[in-house]
Amino acid sequence: MKYSGWPTPGELVVGKIESIEDFGVFVDLEEYEDKQGLIHISEVASGWIKNVRDHVREGQTAVCKVLDVDKGSQQIDLSYKDVNEHQRKETIQRWKNDQKADNWMTIAFGEDVDDSTYTEVANELIEAHGSLYGGFEQAAIHGAEALTETDLDEEQVEAIVETARENVSVPYVTVTGYVDLVCSTEAGVDAVKEALQAAEGNGEISNEIDLEVTYVGAPEYRIRVQAPNYKTAESELERSAERASAAIAEVGGSGSFHRERKTDNE
């Protein structure tokens, strides 16, 4: 979905080069409805330019900086040379993300979703998470909890979460730690098994967390946690070790958590 308004000076915009003239380049703005900008030849590249086509080509997707906007004359002045490579890559990625999010809105609410509903939902996600894409990404990671601060109704939240979890590729991080479990009582073997079950969460771990406990070498066990971010992963790792230590302590054993391996054998 394209914006119906106007870009603002200083903004980085994505456009497709429509035509090239001796005096400059006309660019159709991809993010704004029926808006075209002009890159004057002096803003195409630094230094003297013999041929504009040595620097840009028709049909090219270009990132430009908005220099000036004159709504009265319907003129938008752009600069191509004032955008560095880092800005270009970031802006293109943001634009691609916006396109993905626009498609997800269609999946969530149907191709015939009316403009008012689209705008209402989009504004809520942007207000809560900075962008439409960010809203879907957080919904994929945290589910309905990510949308509790919005005014979206239950049906809208359900549609967003379901669509997000089916379509959004969520970045994950992995952390690893170790717990030593010792129990010298007669129930030692069963106590360790129960402690390991506690470490794994007894089936109550959130869907966004992947937690695995494996044997390394007595009395050491590896805890591996995969989560959407390091803060969550580290917290779950520590909680897992605490659950195991508490469970084995209840039957007279002991548990201790450490980050590095102690045993030589895998």
3-class SS shares of the chain: helix, strand, coil, % to 5: 40, 25, 35
pLDDT number for residue 207: 72
pLDDT number for residue 133: 93
Query: With the CA atoms of 50, 51, 52 and 56 taken in that order, what torsion angle do they form, in degrees rounded to the nearest 10?
Result: -120
Q: Select from 141, 167, 193 the last residue of a domain.
A: 167
* Contact (CB, 8 A) for 125 and 132: yes
Q: Select from 25, 53, 83 the last residue of a domain.
A: 83
* Contact (CB, 8 A) for 241 and 189: no
In a domain, 198, yes or no: yes
Spatial separation of the C-alpha atoms in residues 56 and 151, rounded to whole Å: 45
Give the mean model confidence (pLDDT) for residues 208-237.
Answer: 87
pLDDT confidence band for 262 (50 / 70 / 90): low
pLDDT confidence band for 263 (50 / 70 / 90): low
In a domain, 2, yes or no: no
> Is residue 220 over pLDDT 60?
yes
In a domain, 91, yes or no: yes
Same domain, 101 and 70: no
> Is residue 12 over pLDDT 90?
yes
pLDDT confidence band for 266 (50 / 70 / 90): very low
Same domain, 98 and 67: no
- Domain with 63, as residue range(s), is 12-83
- Where do we find the tokens 């004032």? 82
> Is residue 20 over pLDDT 70?
yes
pLDDT number for residue 265: 44
Give the mean model confidence (pLDDT) for residues 227-233.
Answer: 83
Q: Which of the two residues, 216 and 28, has the higher pLDDT score? A: 28
Residue-wise pLDDT for 47-72, tens only, equals 889 899 999 999 999 999 999 999 99
In a domain, 5, yes or no: no
> Is residue 149 over pLDDT 50?
yes
Q: Select from 167, 191, 224 the last residue of a domain.
A: 167
Same domain, 78 and 96: no
Spatial separation of the C-alpha atoms in residues 148 and 58, rounded to whole Å: 46
In a domain, 162, yes or no: yes
In a domain, 220, yes or no: yes
In a domain, 263, yes or no: no
Tokens of 38: 């002009």
What's 44's domain CATH number?
2.40.50.140
In a domain, 185, yes or no: yes
- CB neighbour burial string for 220-246, b if at least 16 within 10 angstroms, e if fewer: bbbbbbbbbeeebbeebbebbbebbbe
Task: Record the pTM.
Answer: 0.63
What's 204's domain CATH number?
3.30.70.1130
pLDDT number for residue 63: 97
Same domain, 107 and 133: yes
